[in-house]
Structure 1
Amino acid sequence: MKNIHNRRDFLKKSAYGTFAGIAGVGFLSGCTEKSEEEEEISPAEDLMREHGVLNRILLIYDHYKTQLGQNADLSLAPLLQSATIIRRFVEDYHEKLEEDFLFPRFEKAGNLTDLVSVLKDQHKAGRILTDQILNLSKAKTLTATDAKKLIQLLNGFVVMYRPHEAREDTVLFPALKKIVSSHEYSALGEDFEKKEHQLFGEDGFETMVNRVSEIEKQLNIYDLAKFTFGAQ
């Protein structure tokens, strides 16, 4: 990354030294804007990295499934925080983008309509699961019946969303560029960014990643090395 930034700085300085006397500062400004545009995240990449946040919460759900199954005495506060991120960031924002901007375009184009139909049904089912997970994770203590129910809910969410996000990443998102123009594709990226900033601030994605990291640290599952096969 250091080499890339150094090269970028060199190109900017060279452009200024060569052309500033002819085109003035406006030329350099134009180069900067173009560079920023080239570094923008595409709609597909934006959605896929948000899936990364979802996947990390699925690992948190896995952790709670295991602990609850072992009758462990654990705080439900991190689970409540995780389910709240699912509600606000995944369902109310990420999935809303898919439902408002992606699914209608595929339906209008008559492309992957069967897949879109299933994805929409799973969004609805996911929100029902999240309602119940939020409700149970607010309890100070869980009865044995409630703990069993919570395990079932967490498992249902994980089992549904792992293939859900994988199918979107490998089939739906790559197909988007085939049904929209290059201009429309770029405009979608700008729409996504505006919505993210509107709801979560300028560093919305980074904020969510940091929140998930803090939850992982609370649960002692942040260290990636712990997931290495054969690690003690």
Structure 2
Amino acid sequence: MSASYATTVDARILPVPQKHPTIFRAFDGLAVGTAMLLVNDHDPKPLYYTFAAERAGEFEWRYLEKGPEVWQVEISRIADATGRQAPPDTMGCGGLHAHHEHHDHHAHQHAHTGSPTQILKDEHTLILEALDGVERKLAALESGAAPDRAYFEKAVRFIRTFADECHHGKEENLLFKTMVDRGFPLQGGPIAVMLSEHEAGRGYIREMAEASASVVQDKAATEKIIRNGRAYIQMLRPHIDKENMILYAMADNMFSPEDQAEMGKAFERFETEKIGANVHEEMMTLQAELKAGA
């Protein structure tokens, strides 16, 4: 083990959405010839695959401790980035920049500038931010707060339209289909797991929608919202992590530049034909309200 590290990241104490961005920021700040220490509570092998896809030739990965309760990995920077650029601002189902909140309604609603998987990752960020707000509302219900029927109806609308119809629609009809066309297994592999979890999520949201209609009058409906809302969040967060860390990296390694370009165009067609610009604006309004807990 090296005597010292330029930085240490203890991923055990980080919220799930912040884990990988924090780790990559720490690595990108390293000088060539220095190393960072990663501490985690499970084997970070999926993170290794993401490094291999996004920082190829720049790092070395060495396990120092392999569980069962603590994993430690020395990640060394062995070369500077060669031609890699910071991911550009991208637009997804929301039609607005995922990393920058703005309300310029004259902006072109469907101008994607990132890779297809980067667009999907940015949509994940928006979904996770909304779910953080939903989780706070669920905690308030558990603490005895009065049910907010309008809020949970907004949550159902956002999840069904943005997370499922648009985001999962692009995954299932375009990304996954192209991966299968290129030889990736549909059954018995990661795609089958993702599809199964998509369907499970639809079941949770269906239950939430039914309960929201009577949540003010019926205590059992409140408990149903809490139960299904918690189940959905607990399922979707690791689901997103698996897609970001593993499946999207596999897709990027598999697709040719021509595949990437064609899929980007297909994403834009899908959003224009299946979703529509007015719905995009509504989804971004709902996302902001859910994020704020309003």
Q: What TM-score do you get using the length of structure 1 for normalisation?
A: 0.70
Aligned CA distance change for structure 1 residues 125 and 178 (closer, same or farther; 3 Å): same
Give the structure 2 partner of residue 197 of structure 1.
272
> Which of these two proteins has the greater Rg computed from alpha carbons?
1
C-alpha distance in structure 2 between counterparts of 1:151 and 1:116, whole Å: 29
Note the residue ranges of structure 2 that are not aligned, 5 or more in a row: 1-110
Instruction: Give, in angstroms, the shift of residue 209 of structure 1.
Output: 2.7
C-alpha distance in structure 2 between counterparts of 1:141 and 1:95, whole Å: 31
Give the structure 2 partner of residue 43 of structure 1.
116
Task: Answer yes or no: is the 8 Å Cα contact 2:112–2:268 preserved in 1.
Answer: no
Task: Answer yes or no: is the 8 Å Cα contact 1:60–1:79 preserved in 2.
Answer: no
C-alpha distance in structure 2 between counterparts of 1:95 and 1:192, whole Å: 12
Which structure shows the higher strand fraction?
2
Instruction: Give, in angstroms, the shift of residue 41 of structure 1.
Output: 2.1
Q: What TM-score do you get using the length of structure 2 for normalisation?
A: 0.56
Larger RCO of the pair (alpha carbons < 8 Å, separation 6+): 1
Which structure shows the higher helix fraction?
1
Task: Answer yes or no: is the 8 Å Cα contact 1:196–1:204 preserved in 2.
Answer: no
Aligned CA distance change for structure 1 residues 39 and 120 (closer, same or farther; 3 Å): closer
**Structure 1: which 4+ aligned runs deviate by more than 6 Å?**
none
Aligned CA distance change for structure 1 residues 106 and 142 (closer, same or farther; 3 Å): farther
C-alpha distance in structure 2 between counterparts of 1:41 and 1:207, whole Å: 23
Identity among equivalent positions (%) equals 23
Please point out which of 198, 201, 207 is paired with 1:132: 207
C-alpha distance in structure 1 between counterparts of 2:274 and 2:112, whole Å: 22
> In the alignment, is residue 184 of structure 1 matched against residue 269 of structure 2?
no
Aligned CA distance change for structure 1 residues 77 and 171 (closer, same or farther; 3 Å): same
Task: Answer yes or no: is the 8 Å Cα contact 2:152–2:212 preserved in 1.
Answer: yes
Q: Structure 2 matches for 1:208-227, cutoff 5 A? A: 208-217=283-292, 219=294
Q: How many residues align?
A: 182
Give the structure 2 partner of residue 53 of structure 1.
126
User: Over residues 139-164 of structure 1, what are the superposed CA-to-partner deviations in whole Å (9 max), with x where a residue is unaligned?
Assistant: 25143322222111011000000000
Task: Answer yes or no: is the 8 Å Cα contact 2:208–2:228 preserved in 1.
Answer: yes
SS of equivalent to 2:202: helix
C-alpha distance in structure 2 between counterparts of 1:190 and 1:78, whole Å: 34
Q: State the one-letter code of the partner of 1:50.
A: E
Instruction: Give, in angstroms, the shift of residue 99 of structure 1.
Output: 1.0
C-alpha distance in structure 1 between counterparts of 2:280 and 2:114, whole Å: 12
Aligned CA distance change for structure 1 residues 118 and 103 (closer, same or farther; 3 Å): same
Please point out which of 226, 237, 247 is paired with 1:172: 247
Aligned CA distance change for structure 1 residues 184 and 128 (closer, same or farther; 3 Å): same
> In the alignment, is residue 123 of structure 1 matched against residue 123 of structure 2?
no
> In the alignment, is residue 150 of structure 1 matched against residue 225 of structure 2?
yes
User: Over residues 16-67 of structure 1, what are the superposed CA-to-partner deviations in whole Å (9 max), with x where a residue is unaligned?
Assistant: xxxxxxxxxxxxxxxxxxxxxx972210111111112211221122112201
Aligned CA distance change for structure 1 residues 204 and 181 (closer, same or farther; 3 Å): farther
The RMSD of aligned alpha carbons is 2.3
Instruction: Give, in angstroms, the shift of residue 74 of structure 1.
Output: 3.5
Give the structure 2 partner of residue 89 of structure 1.
162
Aligned CA distance change for structure 1 residues 158 and 215 (closer, same or farther; 3 Å): closer
Aligned CA distance change for structure 1 residues 75 and 191 (closer, same or farther; 3 Å): same
C-alpha distance in structure 1 between counterparts of 2:167 and 2:112, whole Å: 21
SS of equivalent to 1:101: helix
Q: State the one-letter code of the partner of 1:110.
A: F
User: Over residues 95-147 of structure 1, what are the superposed CA-to-partner deviations in whole Å (9 max), with x where a residue is unaligned?
Assistant: 11111112233334236951111111001111111111111112251433222
Task: Answer yes or no: is the 8 Å Cα contact 1:50–1:205 preserved in 2.
Answer: no
Instruction: Give, in angstroms, the shift of residue 203 of structure 1.
Output: 7.6
Aligned CA distance change for structure 1 residues 43 and 204 (closer, same or farther; 3 Å): farther
SS of equivalent to 1:40: coil
